[in-house]
Structure 1
Amino acid sequence: MTTQDRSTPPQQQYADRSYRSPAALAGGVLLLALGGWLGGDALLQGVAHTKLMAVFALLLGVPLVIAYTLRPLVRAGADRLTVRNPFRTVTLPWGAVETLRAAFSTEVVSSDGTTYQLWAIPVSLRQRKKASRQARRGAGSGPRFGPHAGAGEDDSVQRAVADQALVELREVKERAADREGAQGEPVVRWSYETLAPMVVGAVGLIVMAVL
């Protein structure tokens, strides 16, 4: 068994965990490829009016696709949880996290009662049903025998991806909640770099439609 140097700061002992939705990433790449093909064709082949419409459509559509597919991220650090949603980023010190829960969506509730959704960890009811069926089959399979009997019982429990992610996040929260560096208030930052081109694109499309 290896031991950690107690003089090493917690930030250096702990490797950040990141969570993203593979399905959203794949869908985002496909939509961007389709939009790039259609928009590029309009820019190359269209008349002046069509080209302007294509530019504004891309200004609106590309950031929108990125916001809902590629941007969402949840990162669990040594002292804080970072939640990057489509249009804002929320940084919560672990001491300010009241609870993490999942019903039809995954959420983090801060100590002041504010609820933030975790877009990067979607809930799949299909996965939950599958995990429940596997758990019931495992519970009815009887006791284990042999050299590994009784070992790894907890590790064999099947969970949906979202539920497993919340289990891991709760473990990190429990370890860090009382640490001095994990105290503070939540910080919310709007993603203006995403919103600005979308506003320009939407206004441009409205103006072009009126003309």
Structure 2
Amino acid sequence: MTSPDSQSPAPQPPDSPSGDRVHRSVPAIAGGVMLLAIAAWIGIDAVVNGDGRTPWLALAVLLLVVPLVVAFTLRPAVYVGEDRLRVRNPFRVIVLPWGQVASLKSAYSNEVLTRSGTKYQLWAVPVSLRARKRARRREMRATAQARRQMGQDGGGALGFAAGRGGGTMSDGPVRAETDRIMDDLRALHEDRHGSASAQGEVTVRWAYEILGPAVAGAVLVLILLATG
């Protein structure tokens, strides 16, 4: 379930992702790259060809927009280790030892609930209702195919069809990708939450490297608009 490096007995710093499995949202990353490309194209054009205060306003807007795009698309990640879960959300980094995790919930978003009752959303593992519907349709088709083969060839054909990937009897229900990730996290939590090395305190660090430029850009935009 985990990489060999994550099982090394050498201690890792709380914010070090070394040896962890990393989960990211590929659609979010693709969308972020596209948005950054568009922002760069428009911003550079405004700086090069703009008149008066337009270049300065364009730079201020870029200073505001680029960190926010990065925060919500490229930055989110979930680092899964043997002893703790490290959640990098748009504006915070939360390190949760497995001993402090009460449960992992999935509804319209995927969340981790601590023993103190605090909830943290897993931005890098978004819920996709469309993916869930596709998975259910695949499962229904596979089950129907297995039943048809069972009716044609006898009861033994059901296990044969499932074993070839056509059914769900041997492999379990078909799950959406993010639901499978949550299943793996729950299994790891169940296995590791009582381990001595998985104890500790929950730590939260604000992402000032994102907040600082974004706030500075917002202030500059307001000043330029107010004095324009």
TM-score (normalised: structure 2): 0.82
Paired residues of 2:46 and 2:54 also in contact (CA < 8 A): yes
1:173-206 per-residue CA deviation (whole Å, 9 max, x = no partner) reads 1222121111012111110110011111111111
Task: Tell me, in whole angstroms, the C-alpha distance in 1 between the residues paired with 2:50 and 2:216.
Answer: 21
1:105-164 per-residue CA deviation (whole Å, 9 max, x = no partner) reads 000001111000000011111111121222233334235539957758453531012211
AA aligned to 1:79 is D
Other-structure match for 1:116 = 120
Paired residues of 2:98 and 2:192 also in contact (CA < 8 A): yes
Q: 1:175 aligns with which of 178, 186, 191?
A: 191
Seq. identity, %: 46
Task: Tell me, in whole angstroms, the C-alpha distance in 2 between the residues paired with 1:149 and 1:23.
Answer: 33
Paired residues of 2:162 and 2:171 also in contact (CA < 8 A): no
Task: Give the secondary-structure state (helix, strand or coil) at the position aligned to 1:178.
Answer: coil
Task: Tell me, in whole angstroms, the C-alpha distance in 2 between the residues paired with 1:117 and 1:147.
Answer: 39
Paired residues of 1:10 and 1:78 also in contact (CA < 8 A): no
Other-structure match for 2:15 = none
1:91-102 correspondence runs (5 A): 91-102=95-106
Task: Give the secondary-structure state (helix, strand or coil) at the position aligned to 1:127.
Answer: helix
Q: Find out whether 1:75 has 2:87 as its counterpart.
A: no
Other-structure match for 1:145 = 157
Task: Give the secondary-structure state (helix, strand or coil) at the position aligned to 1:74.
Answer: strand
Q: 2:208 aligns with which of 176, 192, 198?
A: 192
Other-structure match for 1:30 = 34
1:38-77 correspondence runs (5 A): 38-77=42-81
Indicate how the Cα distance of structure 1 residues 191 and 41 shifts in structure 2: closer, same or farther if over 3 A, else same. Answer: same
Q: 2:171 aligns with which of 146, 151, 155?
A: 155
AA aligned to 1:24 is A
AA aligned to 1:51 is P
Other-structure match for 1:9 = 9
TM-score (normalised: structure 1): 0.88
Indicate how the Cα distance of structure 1 residues 182 and 154 shifts in structure 2: closer, same or farther if over 3 A, else same. Answer: farther
Unaligned residue ranges in structure 2 (runs of 5+): 13-17, 151-155
Unaligned residue ranges in structure 1 (runs of 5+): none
Task: Tell me, in whole angstroms, the C-alpha distance in 1 between the residues paired with 2:56 and 2:10.
Answer: 53
AA aligned to 2:173 is V
Measured after TM superposition, the shift of residue 15 of structure 1 is 4.8
1:75-94 per-residue CA deviation (whole Å, 9 max, x = no partner) reads 11111001111110111000
Paired residues of 2:29 and 2:73 also in contact (CA < 8 A): yes
AA aligned to 1:114 is T
AA aligned to 2:58 is A
Paired residues of 2:32 and 2:73 also in contact (CA < 8 A): yes
Aligned residue pair count: 205
Indicate how the Cα distance of structure 1 residues 109 and 8 shifts in structure 2: closer, same or farther if over 3 A, else same. Answer: closer
